Structures are given as C-alpha cells and as structure tokens.
Amino acid sequence: MKKLVFVGAGSMAEAMISGIIANGLIHNQNIWVTNRRDQERLTCIETKYGVRTTYDKRELFRDADAVILAMKPKDAVAGLAKILPVLHEQTLVISVLAGLAISSIERLAGRELAVVRAMPNTSAAIGKSATGLAFNAQVTEEQASLAKKLFETVGMAAFVEESQLDAVTGLSGSGPAYIYYLVEAMENSAAEIGLEGHLAKELIIQTLLGAAEMLKTSDKPSRQLRHEVTSPGGTTEAGIRILENRQVQDSLIHCIKEATAQSKRLGRMLSEAGDGPSGSVIELRERSS
C-alpha cells in the first residue's frame, strides 16, 4: 500500500497505527494522520510512530489508497462533508464511526465510493479487539481483504451484513464496559468479604483469563461449562441462585439490546444531520456530547 490516511488521531486511530506498524503491514512513512485542530496530538503521534501528519487536505488525500474515518462522532457530519467530495473514486473509505450507515456516507459523498464500515472495540489498544466489518458493492475483493488485514493487526475481525453491525456494537463494541462493570462488582464484594485489594484483583483477572480460555478451547457451550462448575448444594450454586433471583441474566440481555437500539438511534441522528441543514449538525453535536 502506497498511502493510508487516518482522519482523527484519538485512541482508536493510535491503536490501529501501533498494530499496523508492529505487524509490518504498512511502513510508517506510508501512514498519514490528521485531526480537526489538535496540533499537539499530531506531533505526539508523529514523534512516537514516525508517521506523517498534515492539515493540508490536498497533500493528505493525494494518491491515498485508503482513508480511515476515526474522528469524534460529534465532528463526523461536518468533517465528512469536507472530506468525501475530494477523495479519488478509487480510494477505499473505512469508517469506525458508530451508527453511521454506509448509505449515509455515500449520500454525503454525493457519488459512489468503496466503503467499509467497521465496529472494533477499545481492546484494540492491546491487540485484542473484536471487530465486525461490512462493505458496499463498490468494494473489491482486494479492498475487502485489505480492510480485514488492517483490523486483524489489533485483534480478530469478521465480515457481517451491515444490518448486523448495530448488534455487533451492542454486544462486542460496548462489551468491554460490561466486563469492567462485572469486575467492579467483584472487587467491591472482595472488600466486603475481607480480601485485600491487590490480591483480589489478581484473583479476578486470572479467573477471567481462565474462563475465557476455557470458552475459547472447549467445544462445550457456556451453559454446560457453568453447570459443570455448579455442584448441587455447593458454593457456586448458592451464588448463582442469587444472580437468578435478581434476574441478572435478563438485565444483561436488556443491556445489550438497549445498546444495540442506541446504535440504531445514533445512526438515524447522523443520517438526519447529513440530510438536513446546518442546524441539524449543531443539534447532533449537542446530543452527542
């Protein structure tokens, strides 16, 4: 690849830049980065990874093979309106903007472009993201393969239908936060039952790692693995009974459904902002803050 451009220099962009360079997928001098107006952040990224940075749009997008849209959601519509019309028709557009439909990107561009929509998660920062990918009819087989390879530098990546991406967002996009929420509860309970904080954290982390590895390596479904740990009349059964009485599983299901619904709502807001007057963009920014 001759040139990969990141529009946005936040944590997701940095995670991908780090993963791409570490895996030798693209040479750092072939990676270009820009953002809205934070020169200090660009200087930091340039110094740390040896990539190129600029605010000159003509220089930035000239001969770009792919452009990754990684700006803040509140800046998306206004930013895309300036970026998409100047892209070469052969440039692959990859969006990591939650909820923004491919059709909205096409509409803002005002013409056909090859577009891949991606939903990674924050575990990309340590190379453990779970990413869902969808693409439109203009994406070639070579471009689809490139997009998958880019996201495989920060974890696993799989193609899904675009209609499933809101569900991917609700499940794995927001998923790390659900796990951290569970760990918060385990840490709080450890304090109440008399375990020292540092030890409790080590025990919790190892328990999570062990359970995750069991799920990954075993052919058994999660329900069976749970039952194998739950001896009749034992400690696990006593704990699970409380979770069932408090309807924790139902609450988690509702949690993921609501996150999925919110992704759809954000998508509609972005679409409406892109279709409407400038006031719609202002409203979107206020509601996204």
pLDDT digits (tens, 9 = 90+) for 9-27: 999 999 999 999 999 999 9
Q: Would you place residue 42 in the very low, low, confident or very high pLDDT band (cuts 50, 70, 90)?
A: very high
- 70-109, pLDDT tens digit by residue? 998 777 878 888 888 889 889 999 999 887 889 988 888 8
> Is pLDDT above 70 for 285?
no
Backbone angles phi, psi at 116, to 5 degrees: -115, 130
Same domain, 13 and 123: yes
Average pLDDT for the chain: 91
Query: How much is the pLDDT for 266?
Result: 83
Give the end of a domain, one of 227, 246, 265: 246
Provide the number of structural domains found in the chain: 2
pTM > 0.85:
yes
Same domain, 116 and 158: yes
CA distance 75 to 56: 18
Residue 95 lies in a domain: yes
Contact call for residues 17 and 31 (beta carbons, < 8 A): yes
Query: How much is the pLDDT for 276?
Result: 53
CA distance 213 to 218: 8
> Is pLDDT above 90 for 145?
yes
Residue 289 lies in a domain: no
> Helices (DSSP H) in 153-247: which residue ranges?
165-168, 175-192, 197-217, 222-229, 235-245
Cβ neighbourhood burial of 103 (10 Å; 0-12, 13-18, 19+): middle
Query: How much is the pLDDT for 165?
Result: 95
DSSP 8-class letter at 116: E
Same domain, 73 and 199: no
> Is pLDDT above 60 for 287?
no
- 151-175, pLDDT tens digit by residue? 999 999 999 999 999 999 999 999 9
Q: Would you place residue 237 in the very low, low, confident or very high pLDDT band (cuts 50, 70, 90)?
A: very high
Measured between its terminal Cα atoms, the distance across the chain in Å is 36
Residue 124 lies in a domain: yes
Query: How much is the pLDDT for 274?
Result: 61
Query: How much is the pLDDT for 275?
Result: 62
Other C-beta atoms lying within 10 Å of the C-beta of residue 138: 16
Q: What's the CATH number where 54 sits? A: 3.40.50.720
Domain residues for the domain of 41 are: 4-166
Q: Would you place residue 289 in the very low, low, confident or very high pLDDT band (cuts 50, 70, 90)?
A: very low
> Is pLDDT above 80 for 47?
yes
Contact call for residues 115 and 95 (beta carbons, < 8 A): yes
